[in-house]
Structure 1
């Protein structure tokens, strides 16, 4: 009897498997009018143009944003570029999905209606009014809604940006930065978060965020905020300071500003924050201004151990960070304080020569520039860093650089370096890593 039951169970399981196999071999056919004429995929958000043809919103918006003002199917000029949601067809597609659920078809979600310029203007009016009354909670509610809607879709974000939202938010940030910081810290954090989502900043926003009170507020976040707030602060500061020498000098005068940037390099939060910090520092130390304030900034950075940290970072970092770190080091070595720190570090020449022809053209240019600055200003009679450069293969690398081609701005420095190195070359044998030349190609 038990044997008979086992046979029946095995038979049922075999039939079940056969049924599943049949189901897996069955290919569901999507009705042609449910497919987008552009992508040929099942439409998730069908919208109809003035030509009467329906497309998936994502596909047709990409078509329109590319500068087209005709219907892709009929080639007819469109009376309006704003498509109309086709609710009836969307409901039919959703019902079809439910019916075919057993075949693995998932029901398409009901799409959210994109923002209109009128809705954005209305929200911004409420935000401005609440800001004038200095009602932090009311401002926070509106800013929170802007954040949620901006995260919903790129179209919403573009609508906010196009209607001047960033400038209004920057104005709100400046207003509350002048008030009690501890009391309004939460709304300031929220505003800063939304601004960081909508970069790059326009001139109006930079003006508000570049004010003394705004900069002081962001420095406080940079120094003592949680990780997300520090991230938002450095991302916004990168756009605010940019190449504005006056703003950079004002920023540097704020207590804790430079320390906050260096801390993000010493204790990295993310690759993004490290890059942003390096970019800001690069702007500050590589300016063409002859102002004494730049030299003071460099002194402060070198006293914080930035040269040593950059050299440690360069031993193992990705291409983008490597280029930016070398750029900062090149700027620091314009000044005596930076060069002295580089002379004193045993990693300097091995790391710099290693980067030549190894990472990218930009990294090579920065590396050669730094080696040139250090060699040109070398005071030791025994050759010092020049001898060190020879020992780690600089002479052969520079010859290859000139042979394979380089920009005019670095060619002169490479030639000068070869002359300086040649004076000590007979005394030493160079050590070359063949991996440095593995991917070299002669220019076409």
Structure 2
């Protein structure tokens, strides 16, 4: 009798959770992006399941145990749909266009999961009306058709965004293209631009992988659209306009000058700080950008020479004066930088504690569900990351890295990735012995879990002492394997982790022995060239190591390097030149200089010495010096040969 009562309570909990999940899906809206049709269809189909759960909630009939298990599995699929719909509502529109293959794969995965799990629910065993039953069967058919006919997004839109994405920061874009993009992406107002900027910022600081240069370049695309919209409508925002904007109720709202807004959040700054490039940002936003592992200035894309943040007292004073002149209260500076666990509310803390209790249970379904929810909570903000870590979740998540349930394993490693974004949690994750488990997932997990494992290793390796630990634990060989055979996203994650790890000299030999050099050369010569930047950066680092230099020589890479110095981005030119500097030094110097000279390197080097980056100019000057000495030696040797030949001829004549 007691067991029956427990089963009945469990069934009611499952049904209640399903009904609530559908309500949460119904509350998500505003799918103003390239996939609006897909998001709206997915949302509509999930909402059509609501009446079934409502009838089950009101029914007095018991639900068979098998049906409860099927409904619970359906609930997990709806949670996946909810996660995707939330991203569609709040995520970056430009990022969705650029990552169209991944987005469409997510749609297919979620649709297939819903179709499968809904098909496994035996409607005959449920106390529902014929009308609701017919509706559920129709939804199941719609999911099946949608899975089989998954179409793609606007190809023209993708190509136009891709063309701007591939341009340098200084390249001018035709106004007609920018207008078309702004209209298609619905980035026509200050509110739209602010939401897109914050969505990109959230991706850069709390994404399930380190997006690195992808997000930085998307910021460039957004900046070009923003500048175009400001030029078209100076009253929309900020640059020099001092006019006020009249709201619908007739009151005037002062337009905030551009210099007073954080380039990341586009909001009035409270605690402005200066980075090494001279740009000013809101402290909390630039700190999170740096915590995510970025080494560039978000606005200018220049590499930061230092992560030191200097308070901008001048701008802060000007903001205070401007606020006073416009009858506004000056923004209050935060009492202290950083995040305190006290910001986590009692309700949030109670939720985290409940999830950790489930994580500690022996029920695998509870563990999987809890890991999935912690993954999402840790993705949201730094407050949650602190709260989850301090409640003791990290050791429990580490234990799940070796579970046989691949989905739970994926949730666990991704939750650790999201938690690692907060700097103090990196040490906690390492102390919990997570590295071995993360490498286990990197070797044997699902495709997405492997990618997120690589991203987690990248995040942890930001701390120098962790580079040694991760390298010694055996992470490098499986990272090289992922770089070789993974998806585009997987290759990006693996490259980011390998770059960080190879900053430590002891890891360079491990990477070379794992076969990374041929893989990197292959990425350089790939027709799409999608990974050329990352491959060159890693090769430049390895070329200073004896084993790395020998492997690059063996790969017959000189023609490729010379071509990159001739035709590539300034950053790639300087890395290609740095590799050549190392190759053209030592026993093989003469041979390499001869090949480079035959490939026509002199002209590109002279141009690079005049117009390249500072580092590029130095490398070009070094190479030109060696090349000139080599050519002088060749001329001297030729002169000696000709002199001897002339002497022999004279002797014969006499």
Task: Compute the TM-score of the two structures, normalised by the length of structure 1.
Answer: 0.60
Query: Following superposition of structure 1 onto structure 2, how do residues 194-205 of structure 1 map, counting pairs within 5 Å?
Result: 194=415, 196=417, 198=418, 201-205=421-425
The equivalent of 1:410 in structure 2 is 616
- Give distance in 2, aligned partners of 1:407 and 1:371: 16
Q: How does 1:159-308 map to 2 (within 5 A)?
A: 160-165=380-385, 168=388, 171-178=392-399, 181-182=402-403, 187-194=408-415, 196=417, 198=418, 201-211=421-431, 213-242=433-462, 244-255=463-474, 257-267=475-485, 269-287=486-504, 294-295=505-506, 297-308=507-518
Q: Quick one: structure 1 residues 122 and 412, their matched pair in 2 at CA, closer, same or farther if it must change by over 3 Å?
A: same
1:310 aligns with 2:531: no
Tell me the SS of whatever aligns to 2:531.
helix
Question: CA contact under 8 A between 1:121 and 1:163: conserved in structure 2?
Answer: no
2:604 pairs with 1:379: no
Q: CA deviation at 1:71?
A: 10
User: Is residue 576 of structure 2 the alignment partner of residue 367 of structure 1?
Assistant: yes
* 8 A Cα contact 1:130 1:136, kept in partner: no
**Secondary structure of residue in 2 paired with 1:234:** helix
The answer as to whether partners of 1:238 and 1:280 remain within 8 angstroms in 2 is yes
State how far apart, in whole Å, the 1-side matches of 2:372 and 2:558 are: 51
Q: Quickly say closer, same or farther: Cα 1:62–1:117, change in 2 above 3 A.
A: farther
Matched-pair contact (CA < 8 Å) for 2:394–2:432? no
Q: Which moved more, 1:161-170 or 1:276-285?
A: 161-170
How much has 1:407 moved relative to structure 2? Answer: 2.6
Deviation string, structure 1 residues 145-193 (Cα, Å, up to 9, x no partner): 466xx5xxxxx887x4254147627953432434793467653422223
Structure 1 residues 199 and 61, CA, compared in 2 at 3 Å: closer, same or farther? Answer: farther
Structural RMSD (CA): 3.8
Q: Does 1:322 align with 2:532?
A: yes
* In structure 1, C-alpha distance between the alignment counterparts of 2:359 and 2:420, rounded to whole Å: 23
8 Å Cα contact 2:397-2:412 kept in structure 1: no
1:350: Cα distance to partner?
A: 0.6
Structure 1 residue 233: Cα displacement: 1.0
Change (3 A) 1:339 1:331: same
- Distance in 1 separating the partners of 2:628 and 2:401: 64
Residue matched to 1:332: 542
Q: CA deviation at 1:420?
A: 1.5
Is residue 73 from structure 1 mapped to residue 240 from structure 2 by the alignment? no
Mapped partners of 1:306, 1:194: distance in 2: 29
Measure, in 2, the Cα distance between the counterparts of 1:235 and 1:128. Answer: 24
1:357 is displaced (CA, Å) by 4.2
Does the C-alpha gap of structure 1 residues 272 and 72 become closer, same or farther in structure 2, counting only changes over 3 Å? farther
Larger CA Rg, structure 1 vs 2: 1
Q: Structure 2: where are the runs of 5+ without partners?
A: 1-29, 31-39, 41-88, 91-188, 199-236, 238-244, 254-343, 636-654
Partners of 1:308 and 1:345 within 8 A in 2: yes
> Could you say if the C-alpha distance between residues 73 and 206 of structure 1 is closer, same or farther in structure 2, counting changes exceeding 3 Å?
farther
Task: Answer with 336-345 or 407-416: which moved more.
Answer: 407-416
Q: Does 1:390 align with 2:608?
A: no
Q: Which moved more, 1:269-278 or 1:187-196?
A: 187-196
Structure 2 residue aligned with 1:129, among 354, 357, 362? 357
Residue 358 of structure 2 aligns to a residue whose secondary structure is helix
Q: Is 1:399 equivalent to 2:399 in the alignment?
A: no
Would the aligned equivalents of 2:518 and 2:555 in 1 still touch at CA under 8 Å?
yes
| Shift in CA distance, 274/71, structure 1 to aligned 2, threshold 3 Å | farther
Counterpart CA distance in 2 for 1:335 and 1:388 is 22
When residues 273 and 64 of structure 1 are mapped into structure 2, their CA distance, relative to the original with a 3 A threshold, is closer
Indicate how the Cα distance of structure 1 residues 200 and 356 shifts in structure 2: closer, same or farther if over 3 A, else same: farther
Change in Cα spacing, 1:179 to 1:419, as seen in structure 2 (3 Å) is: closer
Tell me the number of residue pairs that the alignment of Structure 1 and Structure 2 aligns: 312
How far apart are the structure 1 equivalents of 2:433 and 2:246? Answer: 51
Distance 1:71 1:186 in 2: 52
Task: Write out per-residue CA displacement over residues 343-372 of structure 1, whole angstroms, 9 at most, x where no aligned residue.
Answer: 2222x1011111114221110110011101
3-state DSSP of counterpart to 1:164: helix
Shift of residue 72, structure 1, vs aligned partner: 4.9
* Residues 1:228 and 1:337: Cα distance change in structure 2 (over 3 Å): same
Deviation at 1:328, TM superposition (A): 0.5
Quick one: structure 1 residues 225 and 157, their matched pair in 2 at CA, closer, same or farther if it must change by over 3 Å? closer
